[in-house]
Amino acid sequence: MSSQAFQDIISGPLTSYLTLSSQLGGEVAAHAKLVSEAFQTQLQYLQLAECRTVPSQAEQGQLLQPTSLKIQAIQELREKNRTSQYFNHLSAISESIPALGWVTISPAPAPYIKEMNDAGQFYTNRVLKDWKQKDQRHVDWVKAWVETLTELQGFVKQHHTTGLVWAKTGAAGIPPPPPPGGMPPPPPVLPPLESLSLDNSNDRSALFAQINQGEDITKSLKKVTSDMQTHKNPNLRTGPAPFKAPVSVGAPAAAPVKAPPSNKPPVFARDGKKWLVEHQRGNKSLVVEGAEMNNVVYMYGCFDSTLTVKGKINSIFLDSCRKSAIVFDSLVSSVEFVNCQSVQMQVLGKVPTISIDKTDGCQIYLSPESMQVEIVSSKSSEMNVMVPKANGDFAEFPIPEQYKTTVSSTGLSTVVVESKG
């Protein structure tokens, strides 16, 4: 039975992941508890599929609701702990936990799990980068989670190749209850067709007689004089606009929906080794001074703001910022952009790595000392690198966004496709 093979995943790599999460503690342990509950919920769903026939689409939505709520709770915990030192751990799980949605995918659910596993790889790589020299448990934690999803993919490929398999016989599904207030009334009874008059021969004859007049058909049309033309008589435009849909009484016209401005209070504070700059709006004079080399700057949810970081620090992280800029001297590690729009950065000294993820619009101004920088981008667009020239100006180079992949017997080959525009 396939549910037994699923239990092997729970007792194997998932248990290793849970044990290591408990050792790391904090938000990681709390996150892992929700993950464990999500897998147990899916196990119950698989056991149900083994003993009953496929339910209706409406009932299937009800049966999947517990799993959906668990996934939502996992992702909400990540959003509530953006300043945690384990944010990358939480993000790795939150980005890949939708793999449990394979039960709704057909005819090829296994590749979907692989896709979700890859979605979390961006953050698991960060965990490895930040912790592999400090604590081996974090490395083992990454391996345990990746192995969990890999075995889940293999399980689905073996037991549910084209989609979740339901029992051919078993208890039939219980229809969902009717909505509150009773069943809707039946539709009105239409009159019998015999009572409808279909004799329109006289009307059709008159119509064809008008059409067969040829050029004489226009003789009955009235000439439009100059005083009747709206473009020559502005006064004629003051009347009601034609073709405007009537507005029902008591229902005001719907205004265009606009994103509400952030009403959270701005934050500019230091928390140990972290500098927190959050929800700043229209502030062009933000400055971080006196930072140490092991400090980290975290800029979140800022709009139309500019932050200047003086001195050499460890790293800078911009998350969900719009129309904002960052200027800094030098970094030990990297500067990262995630979920940003129309952002800029300028390095005055040296930066080893620039990471861009899910960002639309990123201008990068380099210094002569940063010509050896490595730029890693994914799921982003409109990225440009400004390289300094000898005369003090900058040469602009776009980061490729379009690629061509060809298939051969040895694998895949991918090259950049240059824009001809």
Would residue 196 count as lying in a domain? no
Query: Pick the residue with more confidence: 214 or 347?
Result: 347
Maximum C-alpha span of the chain: 94
Cβ neighbors of 203 (< 8 A, separation 6 or more) are: none
Write out pLDDT tens, residues 213-228: 666 666 666 666 666 6
- The whole domain housing 364 covers 267-416
Residue 364 belongs to a domain with what CATH number?
Answer: 2.160.20.70
Residue 213 located in a structural domain: no
- CATH code of 129's domain: 1.25.40.330
In a domain, 247, yes or no: no
Which of 115, 142, 160 marks a domain boundary? 160
Q: Which residues contact 46 (CB under 8 A, 6 or more apart)?
A: 2, 3, 6, 103, 164
> How would you label 337-362 residue by residue, b for 16+ Cβ within 10 Å and e otherwise?
bbbbbbbbbebbebbeebbbbbbebb
Tokens representing 231 are: 């473009």
How many domains does the chain contain in total?
2
Q: Is 170 part of a structural domain of the chain? A: no
* pLDDT tens sequence across 350-395: 999 999 999 999 999 999 999 999 999 999 999 999 999 988 889 9
pLDDT of residue 175: 44
In a domain, 271, yes or no: yes
Residue 153 and residue 16 share a domain: yes
Note whether residue 389 is domain-resident. yes
Q: Is residue 254 part of a domain?
A: no
User: Which is nearest to 283 in space by CA: 299, 267, 307, 261?
Assistant: 307
In a domain, 104, yes or no: yes
Give percent above pLDDT 70 in the chain.
77
